[in-house]
Amino acid sequence: MELIDIGANLSHDSFDIDRDAVLQRAREAGVVQMMVTGASREHSPKALALAQAHPGFLFATAGVHPHHASEYTAECDAEMRTLHAHPEVAAVGECGLDYFRDLSPRPAQRRAFELQLRIAADLAVDGVGKPLFLHQRDAHVDFMGVMKEFDGKLGPAVVHCFTGSRTELFDYLDQDWHIGITGWLCDERRGAHLRELVPHIPADRLMIETDSPYLLPRTVKPQPSHRRNEPMYLAHIVEELARDRGEDVAATAASTTATARAFFRLD
Ligand SMILES: [Zn+2]
């Protein structure tokens, strides 16, 4: 089984003590490639450094999460553009809107989101923009509105860590966007509605991610005492996803891997 984790925050401080062991355990668990999420001014360069240190195994995204939108200055925009010149940076993001926690003012969130979509559009090759790694929580209407401003100028987009409603899911699929599914699905209570929705996602729009070190799947038994999630647990997500979709695990693994390779242009 070959799996691709499209969202792992491997530059997170909690991995500083044993990052190489974490990568080794991931390989042993069938994870063949990973996208290291860049989600701030501080961590996007670290994500690139990790990808450069592990060519062909790790790739990076570069972006500023809506929680950090207040730091999105002109200098920050220039830094992001410099990062995107590197071939190891496969997507723009994590970027988007988060009105659930509102850690940055909403106007700042919208502005940072727009400026990053502008980068993705500016980096278009043959009219196809750079892939987008998107975050949306409790901001669906504004999120759709900002994306609409760039209609026809953007490349493929994935709404990562999807936990939303049926309406949100079909709005995204109607736009031909991709969906990233995390261990949220493995929570028998919080993930119940999601389990009913995942059979509706076409295989060529569906990818998996741990969002490590967050969102430890509840199906990991026994639960590690430190509660840190890591990419080796990706198998728990694909197993639950396959069960909910009525597929063989091998089929779901193969299709999500093929979709990720095509989406991030990994070949
Ligand atoms: Zn996110």
Could you tell me which residues are beta bridge partners of residue 132? Answer: 92, 157
CA of 263 to the centre of ligand 1 (A): 18
Contacts of 112 (CB under 8 A, 6+ apart): 64, 66, 68, 69, 72, 95, 104
Could you tell me which residues are beta bridge partners of residue 134? Answer: 95, 159
Contact 135, 93 (CB under 8 A): yes
* Sheet architecture: strand order including 178-181: 3-8, 31-36, 58-62, 89-98, 132-137, 157-159, 178-181, 206-208
Six-digit token string for 203: 């295989």
CA of 215 to the centre of ligand 1 (A): 11
Euclidean distance between CA atoms 266 and 56, whole angstroms:
8
CA of 135 to the centre of ligand 1 (A): 5
The pTM (predicted TM-score) of the whole model is 0.97
Can you give the pLDDT at residue 126? 85
CA of 97 to the centre of ligand 1 (A): 9
Can you give the pLDDT at residue 225? 84
CA of 197 to the centre of ligand 1 (A): 19
CA of 121 to the centre of ligand 1 (A): 21
CA of 174 to the centre of ligand 1 (A): 21
At 215, the amino acid letter reads: L
Contact 130, 155 (CB under 8 A): yes
**Helices of type H across the chain:** 19-28, 43-53, 74-83, 106-122, 140-149, 166-174, 192-197, 234-245, 249-263
CA of 239 to the centre of ligand 1 (A): 22
Q: What is the DSSP letter of 104?
A: S
CA of 178 to the centre of ligand 1 (A): 14
CA 267 to centroid of chain Cα atoms:
19
CA of 243 to the centre of ligand 1 (A): 25
CA of 94 to the centre of ligand 1 (A): 7
CA of 93 to the centre of ligand 1 (A): 9
CA of 8 to the centre of ligand 1 (A): 10
CA of 140 to the centre of ligand 1 (A): 14
Low-confidence ranges of the chain (pLDDT < 50): none
* 119-156 burial code (b ≥16 CB/10 A, e <16): bbbebeeeeebbbbbbbbbebbebbeebbeebeeebbb
CA of 224 to the centre of ligand 1 (A): 23
Can you give the pLDDT at residue 127? 85
